[in-house]
Amino acid sequence: MASGAPRYYTVSWEQLHRDSKALAWRLVERGPFRGVVAITRGGLIPAAVVARELECRVIETVSVVTYDEERRGEPSVVKPPAAAGDGDGWLLIDDLVDTGTTAKLVRGILPRAHFATVYAKPAGRPLVDTFVTEVSQDTWILFPWDTEAQFVAPIARSAGGAAGG
């Protein structure tokens, strides 16, 4: 049923915490890690949860900008990780791998890091080593830091279907 309209998948704070902890369960046997590198900004919260669960105290960041307020652009590193070298022994965390644009750029910086994301879309999935949940390429994930609770009309109203009683 392709309508051309984007699909949305809303993730609550509680769900993000559960999914990030599930990621830690998948990673615990791969450690110990020298440290965690969070891809900012989306990877900050999952990285904090995973670092806590794996008892990893060294946390580094790499800041990549791929979106501006209006469109997707060419990615650029605005802050490289200071201490992770080529990534050997490090765990690289992001919230989502989508098209793989950010993943390719960061893999170039930290080629030996173990790359893990909470969510993965098919186009980017081959670039990560570990993930928890796959969503379709046409799904837009609404993370809790980007949303507020508000009324949403029933699906039947927005799908143009007959309202049931």
DSSP 24-76: HHHHGGG---SEEEEEETTTHHHHHHHHHHTT---EEEEEEEEE-SSSEEEEE
For 15, counting Cβ atoms within 10 Å of its Cβ (0-12 exposed, 13-18 middle, 19+ buried), the class is middle
pLDDT score of 32: 94
Catalytic residues: 94-95, 98
| Rg, C-alpha atoms of the chain | 17
pLDDT score of 4: 66
* Cis before 126 (ω within 30): no
- The first and second tokens of residue 97, run together, are 């791998």
- The first and second tokens of residue 92, run together, are 């690289």
Per-domain residue ranges of the chain: 8-158
36 marked as binding residue: no
| pTM of the full structure | 0.83
99 marked as binding residue: yes
CATH architecture of the domain covering 8-158: 3-Layer(aba) Sandwich (3.40)
66 marked as binding residue: no
From 61, 81, 128, select the one nearest 100 (Cα to Cα). Answer: 128
68 marked as binding residue: no
pLDDT score of 1: 46
Query: In Å, how far are 13, 38, 40, 118 from 60, measured between CA atoms?
Result: 22, 6, 10, 18
Judged by phi (left if over 0) then psi (alpha if -120 to 50, else beta), residue 37 lies in: beta
96 marked as binding residue: yes
Residue pLDDT tens, the chain, 165 long: 455 677 899 999 999 999 999 999 999 999 899 999 999 999 999 999 999 999 999 999 999 987 665 656 778 888 989 888 999 999 999 999 999 999 999 999 999 999 999 999 999 999 999 999 999 999 999 999 988 888 878 888 876 555 555
- The first and second tokens of residue 161, run together, are 């279907």
